[in-house]
Amino acid sequence: MKYGFFPGCTYEGSAGYKESTEAVSQILHTELVEIEGWNCCGATSYWSLEDLPAVVLPARVMALAEKQDFKEVVNVCNACYSTLRKAQDKLAKDERLMAQVNEALAEEGLSYTGSTKIRHYMEVLVNDLDPDDIKKHVKVDLEALIVAPYYGCQLNRPWGDMDDRQHPVMMDRLIETLGASVPTDYSAKTLCCGASHVMPYEKNCLPLVKRIVGDALSKGARAISTVCPLCQFNVDASQSGLDLPDIPVLFFTQLLGLAFGLEEKDLQLKKLLVPFKTN
């Protein structure tokens, strides 16, 4: 299956997300074809500031996808996913704004109709593939590994149309399909990690990460799995200030790679700040 792929700005720089995603998507035959000429989605900060330009940024990405004949745009970042969907919703309700956006896009010969479906790679694996399609590639026994699935706050809210807003289960099922275990009652699944406020308001954000990490540890997890580069970074990097035992924070694609028995060059686990020990 071929999907339009929107990597987002943080994809390359994140701790092994790119390498693991590329390797895993090959094995699972989910071809992620990068959208040519994509731009930053504007994420959360721009969205709060400037109305029209904030909408044009994500609209341009979707317009490029339309032009390049992609019916679906797959994201690997919660903020990109959320921003694209929010823009799509906003433009669907506001004809005047859509006309303005298209006027701006027309400068480049682009046009936005809102026909693309916005996906996240994690839910693509859960919804579009049969569990057996994933299971058959599993080579490593991860039964002893308890992984806390951390979804982040933007994936299921406000829509809640793919999974429960408060206690989602999609990633839990994916982890179990790989043969690993999840804690039965991880409560911090959708808590905020602080997002971009972690830089200017570090002290205020520490309690947020403490809850995510603390609950994972108290429920018996030995690793945390994420679906967003900023979530991964925040929870990984903030642990030094937490006064709690360390817990490695992996991308879900790295977890898939571990289960499939991939090598370090595809996993890049060494890039994690809190190291992941395979024992």
Partner 1 sequence: MSYSKPKVGVYICHCGTNIAGKVDVVSVAEYAGTLPFVESANEYKFMCSDPGQQLLIDDVREKGLNRVVVASCSPRMHEKTFRKATQTAGINPYFFQMACIREHDSWVTEDPVKATAKAKNLVRGAVSRVLHHEVLFSGVADVNPNVLVIGGGIAGMQAALDIADAGKKVYLVEREPSLGGNMLKFDKTFPTLDCAACIGTPKLVSVGQHENIELMSYCEVENVEGFVGNFEVRVRQKARYVRLDKCTGCGDCVEACPITIPSAYESGLKTCHAIGRNFAQAIPSAFSIQRMGMPPCQAACPAGVNAVGYMTLTGLGKFDEAISVVRERMPFAAICGRICFHPCEDACKRGQLDKPLAICHTKRFLGDLELKRGVFTHPPMKEPREGKVGVVGAGPAGLSAAYYLALEGYPVTIFEKLPVAGGMLAVGIPDYRLPRDILEAEIKNLMDMGVTIKTGVSFGRDVTFDSLKKEDYRAFFIATGLHRSLSMGIEGEDLEGVIGGTDLLRSVSLNKDASIGDRVVIIGGGNVAIDAARTCLRLGAGDVTILYRRSQAEMPAHDVEVEEAEGEGVKFTFLAAPTRLIGENGKLKELEFLKMALGEPDESGRRRPTPVEGSETIIEVDNVVPAIGQMPEAEFLAGLGLEADPKGRIVTDEETLATPQSGIFAGGDCTLGPASFVEAVAHGRQAAESIQSFLEHGGLREVKPKEKHLDPGLTEEERKRARPIQRQKMPALAPDRRNVNFAEVELGFTEEMAMAEGQRCLNCSICCQCGECTRKCGPQAIDLNDHERIHELDVGSIIVATGFKIFDPTPLTHYGFGRYPEVYTSLQFERLNNATGPTEGKILTKDGRVPEKVAIIHCVGSRDQAYNKYCSRVCCMYSMKLAHLVKEKAAAEIYEFYIDIRSPGKGYEEFYNRLQEEGTHFIRGKVAEVTDIVDDPADNGRLTVVAEDTLARKIRRIPVDMVVLSVGLEAADGVEDVARMVGISLDADGWINELHPKLGPLATPSDGIFIAGCCQGPKDIPDSVAQAQGAAALALSLISRGKIEIEPTVAVVNDRLCTGCKTCVELCAYSAVSFSEEKKTAFVNDVLCKGCGTCAAACPVAAISVQHFTPDQIFAEIEGILT
Sheet of strand 147-149: strand arrangement: 147-149, 223-226, 249-251
Residue 207 contacts partner 1 per CB under 8 A: yes
In the complex, minimum distance from the CB of residue 215 to partner 1, in angstroms, rounded to a whole number: 5
Residue 179 contacts partner 1 per CB under 8 A: no
Residue 245 contacts partner 1 per CB under 8 A: no
Closest to partner 1 by CB, 117 or 219: 219
Residue 188 contacts partner 1 per CB under 8 A: yes
In the complex, minimum distance from the CB of residue 184 to partner 1, in angstroms, rounded to a whole number: 11
In the complex, minimum distance from the CB of residue 185 to partner 1, in angstroms, rounded to a whole number: 7
Q: Which of 67, 117, 173, 210 binds partner 1 (CB under 8 A)?
A: 210
- Residue 35, classified by CB atoms within 10 Å of its CB into exposed (0-12), middle (13-18) or buried (19+), is buried
Residue 163 contacts partner 1 per CB under 8 A: no
Which of 116, 83, 110 has the alpha carbon at shortest distance from 196? Answer: 83
Closest to partner 1 by CB, 66 or 215: 215
Closest to partner 1 by CB, 111 or 166: 166
Residue 215 contacts partner 1 per CB under 8 A: yes
Q: How far apart are CA 258 and CA 194, in angstroms?
A: 28
In the complex, minimum distance from the CB of residue 154 to partner 1, in angstroms, rounded to a whole number: 16
Question: Could you tell me the two tokens for 279?
Answer: 């024992």
In the complex, minimum distance from the CB of residue 268 to partner 1, in angstroms, rounded to a whole number: 31
The residue range among 1-9, 15-23, 105-113, 207-215 that interacts with partner 1, by the rule CB under 8 A, is: 207-215
The residue range among 12-20, 72-80, 131-139, 160-168 that interacts with partner 1, by the rule CB under 8 A, is: 160-168
The residue range among 52-60, 136-144, 211-219, 251-259 that interacts with partner 1, by the rule CB under 8 A, is: 211-219
Task: Please tell me whether the peptide bond between 158 and the residue prior to it is cis, using omega within 30 degrees of 0.
Answer: yes
Give the interface with partner 1 as residue ranges (CB under 8 A): 164-167, 185, 187-188, 191, 207, 210-211, 214-215
